[in-house]
């Protein structure tokens, strides 16, 4: 059967997964009466809850006797590592662009990678039914983007298709084109413009790009067959990037993507994208080949991690009461397993301790890992995120810089510019983006952006949209002021009492509720001043048998600050930790004993 391999790449929320839904429906992958979830490719719980794609996934459809393998990719910059690997599997890409927002930072990132390896993309202007759509300007912006990324003349001559994935139609004739043909024009465009897979000479070779653990088949690697063919039970070997033999074994099962299902097949041929089971040490970017091959396939280089956190054993007084995976050995095995499948993550042991330093692309990527682990029953202590610095040629300190695009209402632009300037950001561009909104583009240090998302939404009443993308390294910009408020710390262990919380409300907003378990050194609220304060949240009302005129005062508590995982990681300072368990997220001081805490501060001041 003839083949086409294509990836769908776009910025977050521009409609990739919805487009795949429509392609599957029109190609007959679902029965007429079959109930299908919306965004069928977002299969993981966290993806469904957050409405974002986290893991790249493959599917396939048949159109006019041609099998089209489609890879749905994440749109968030933190998961860019997934997209970088995917591009080596495909022969072209559909670049999806929102008709109102235009090309955004992640569009620029993935298009740049695709153009660099020589792909000729198809541009799809999605959401043309939006009332604020500006189709002509967006097409011009896409052309300017391609030109700025040094596209060749062939790549600049890209085909354009318009439509609305949500309404289920596409048209090559224009944004007002016929809407009765459904997705057929897009399928026809793919068959016309996407080249057939190039098949290399020689024995069987497959490059691994996606890794997963299957409860029945064990480790499974998805990749593209570059040369030859393979059958189940055939002898193979695995070569790493340097060409060293990692393991030898047999293929137990070959699965091909057929719609949203995976079906076992008797033979995988060159050009196809398949999943292979049976090898225990096969990693992402390794080459699977027959025993006579000695040269590995070249994998695309991956951008380096920019942010790191320390994962440690939970040593709080409440440790082990809510989770069952608490030892450092179990945590280590889980982190190493994650690093195998996720090439954008790096795990190393912290010196002189049983903690692990995990480096990744951004707060969201690391927060998703922590959230996944807590759902599996892990208890962890997490340090504040730190940026990964490096030394330049003249031994100068370099820090990661991000390109930040903020779309904001004009009335709120002043406060955004001011806050970004405080975070040592440089404004690159400021232009109207339609509807009394401005698009602000900054180059900002990564460490200045930690925790800014929540503050931005507060400053702009929830109307601003921020997008970030790694730009490069530049000389260290100097100190950036962190959190301005101190915290309220519990000085006793027990259960919080409503009366005590009520009496302490003038000290600052609380983060706990009555009846919650607290311990000495745990952070229970935010102080209104810039210093830390120890308080007693266990003290009940002194009861006597004397009646007074005022009677009992009614206890009315202000609702506490709700700490989500991302909010907690952004909130803490260097001497604090986030305690993560399957049921709770607590904030605490790294050193729980107040006397030891004072000693460490004195020693630190003396050292400085």
In sequence order, what DSSP letters do the residues of 558-600 get, joined into one string?
Answer: PPPPP--HHHHHHH--TTEEEEE-SS-EEEEESS-SHHHHHHH
Give the CA distances from residue 481 to residues 148, 306, 421, 423, 578, in Å, rounded to whole numbers and listed in that order: 35, 20, 12, 8, 21
DSSP 545: S
pLDDT of residue 33 exceeding 50: no
Residue 43 banded pLDDT, cuts 50, 70, 90:
low
User: How far apart are alpha carbons 229 and 226 in whole angstroms?
Assistant: 9
Look at phi and psi of residue 266 and say left if phi exceeds 0, alpha if psi is from -120 to 50, else beta: alpha
Give the CA distances from residue 294 to residues 89, 145, 200, 223, in Å, rounded to whole numbers and listed in that order: 21, 40, 15, 19
Greater pLDDT, 42 or 563: 563
Give 535's contacts (C-beta < 8 A, 6+ positions apart). 488, 489, 490, 491, 504, 507, 524, 525
pLDDT of residue 190 exceeding 60: yes
Joined together, the tokens standing for residue 583 give 């049921």
| 106, 76 contact by CB (below 8 A) | yes
User: How far apart are alpha carbons 311 and 294 in whole angstroms?
Assistant: 39
Give phi and psi for 379, each to the nearest 5: -115, 135
Joined together, the tokens standing for residue 571 give 């909130």
For residues 449, 454, 455, 460, the Cα torsion angle rounded to the nearest 10 degrees is 120
The arithmetic mean of pLDDT across residues 198-214, rounded, is 83
Q: Are strands 2-10 and 92-98 parallel, antiparallel or unpaired?
A: parallel
User: How far apart are alpha carbons 54 and 110 in whole angstroms?
Assistant: 15
Q: With 0-12 CB in 10 A as exposed, 13-18 as middle and 19+ as buried, what is 232?
A: middle
pLDDT of residue 45 exceeding 70: no
Greater pLDDT, 520 or 478: 520
Q: Report the pLDDT value the prediction gives residue 358, as an integer from 0 to 100.
A: 92
Q: Report the pLDDT value the prediction gives residue 550, as an integer from 0 to 100.
A: 57
Between helix 135-148 and helix 105-116 the angle, nearest 10°, is 50
Q: Are strands 92-98 and 122-126 parallel, antiparallel or unpaired?
A: parallel
pLDDT of residue 135 exceeding 50: yes
Residue 548 banded pLDDT, cuts 50, 70, 90:
low
Joined together, the tokens standing for residue 327 give 């030892």
Q: With 0-12 CB in 10 A as exposed, 13-18 as middle and 19+ as buried, what is 280?
A: exposed
| pLDDT tens-place string over residues 393-428 | 888 888 889 888 888 888 888 999 998 998 889 999
Give the count of beta carbons closer than 10 Å to the beta carbon of residue 346.
15
Helices (H) and strands (E) in the chain, counts: 15, 34
| pLDDT tens-place string over residues 225-241 | 888 888 888 888 888 88
Residue 11 banded pLDDT, cuts 50, 70, 90:
confident
**Domains in the chain, ordered, with CATH?**
2-193 (3.40.50.300), 205-289 (2.40.30.10), 390-475 (3.30.70.240), 487-607 (2.40.50.250)
- Adjacent-strand bridge partners of 206: 225, 288
SS3 (DSSP) at 213: strand
* pTM (two decimals): 0.79
The arithmetic mean of pLDDT across residues 161-189, rounded, is 85
DSSP 294: -
pLDDT of residue 549 exceeding 60: no
Give the residue carrying structure tokens 């710390």. Answer: 489
SS3 (DSSP) at 511: coil
Give phi and psi for 329, each to the nearest 5: -65, -45
pLDDT of residue 500 exceeding 80: yes
Percent of the chain topping pLDDT 70? 91
pLDDT of residue 155 exceeding 50: yes
Tally the C-alpha atoms within 13 A of residue 597's C-alpha that lie toward its C-beta: 18
Residue 38 banded pLDDT, cuts 50, 70, 90:
very low
Write down the mean pLDDT value for the chain. 84
């Amino acid at each position: 059967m003839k083949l086409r391999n294509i990836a769908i790449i776009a910025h977050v929320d521009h409609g990739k997964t919805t487009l795949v839904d429509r392609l599957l429906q029109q190609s007959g992958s679902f029965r007429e009466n079959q109930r299908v979830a919306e965004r069928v490719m977002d299969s993981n719980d966290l993806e469904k809850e957050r409405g974002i794609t986290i893991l790249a996934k493959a599917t396939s459809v048949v159109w006019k006797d041609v099998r089209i393998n489609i890879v749905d990719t994440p749109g968030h910059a933190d998961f860019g590592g997934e997209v970088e690997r995917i591009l080596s599997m495909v022969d072209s890409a559909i670049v999806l662009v929102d008709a109102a927002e235009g090309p955004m930072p992640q569009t620029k990132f993935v298009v740049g990678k695709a153009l660099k390896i020589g792909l000729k993309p198809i541009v799809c202007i999605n959401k043309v039914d939006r009332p604020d759509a500006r189709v002509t300007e967006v097409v011009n912006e896409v052309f300017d983007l391609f030109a700025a990324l040094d596209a060749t003349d062939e790549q600049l001559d890209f085909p354009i298709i318009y439509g609305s994935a949500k309404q289920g139609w596409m048209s090559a004739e224009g944004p007002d084109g016929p809407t009765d043909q459904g997705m057929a024009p897009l399928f026809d465009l793919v068959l016309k413009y996407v080249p057939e897979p190039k098949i290399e000479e020689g024995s069987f070779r497959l490059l691994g790009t996606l890794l997963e653990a299957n409860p029945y088949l064990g480790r499974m690697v998805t990749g593209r067959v570059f040369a030859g063919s393979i059958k189940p039970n055939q002898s193979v070997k695995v070569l790493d990037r340097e060409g060293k033999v990692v393991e030898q074994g047999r293929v137990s099962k070959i699965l091909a993507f057929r719609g949203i299902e995976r079906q076992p097949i008797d033979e995988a041929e060159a050009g196809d994208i398949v999943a292979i089971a049976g090898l225990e040490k096969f990693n992402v970017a390794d080459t699977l080949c027959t025993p006579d091959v000695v040269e590995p396939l070249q994998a695309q280089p991956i951008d380096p991690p920019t942010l790191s956190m320390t994962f440690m054993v939970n040593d709080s007084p409440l440790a082990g009461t809510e989770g069952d995976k608490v030892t450092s050995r179990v945590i280590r095995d889980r982190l190493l397993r994650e690093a195998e499948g996720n090439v954008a993550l790096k795990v190393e042991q912290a010196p002189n301790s049983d903690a692990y330093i995990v480096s990744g692309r951004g707060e969201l990527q690391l927060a998703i890992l922590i959230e996944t682990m807590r759902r599996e029953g892990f208890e962890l202590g997490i340090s504040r995120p730190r940026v990964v610095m490096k030394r330049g040629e003249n031994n100068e300190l370099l820090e990661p810089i991000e390109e930040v695009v903020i779309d904001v209402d004009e009335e709120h632009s002043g406060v955004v510019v001011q806050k970004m300037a405080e975070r040592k950001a440089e404004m690159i561009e400021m232009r109207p983006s339609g509807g009394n909104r401005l698009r602000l583009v900054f180059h900002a240090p990564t460490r200045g952006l930690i925790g800014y998302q929540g503050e931005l939404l507060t400053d702009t009443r929830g109307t601003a949209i921020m997008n970030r993308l790694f730009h490069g390294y530049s000389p260290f910009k100097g100190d950036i002021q962190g959190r301005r408020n101190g915290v309220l710390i519990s000085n006793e262990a027990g259960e919080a009492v409503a009366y005590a919380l009520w009496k302490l409300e003038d000290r600052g907003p609380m983060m706990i509720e009555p009846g919650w378990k607290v311990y000495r050194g745990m952070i229970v609220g935010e102080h209104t001043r810039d210093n830390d304060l120890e308080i007693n949240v266990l003290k009940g009302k002194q009861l006597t048998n004397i009646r007074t005129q005022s009677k009992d005062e009614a206890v009315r508590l202000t609702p506490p600050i709700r700490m989500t995982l991302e909010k907690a990681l952004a909130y803490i300072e260097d001497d604090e930790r986030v305690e993560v368990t399957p049921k709770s997220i607590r904030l605490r001081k790294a050193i729980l004993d107040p006397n030891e805490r004072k000693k460490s501060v004195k020693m630190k001041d003396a050292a400085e």
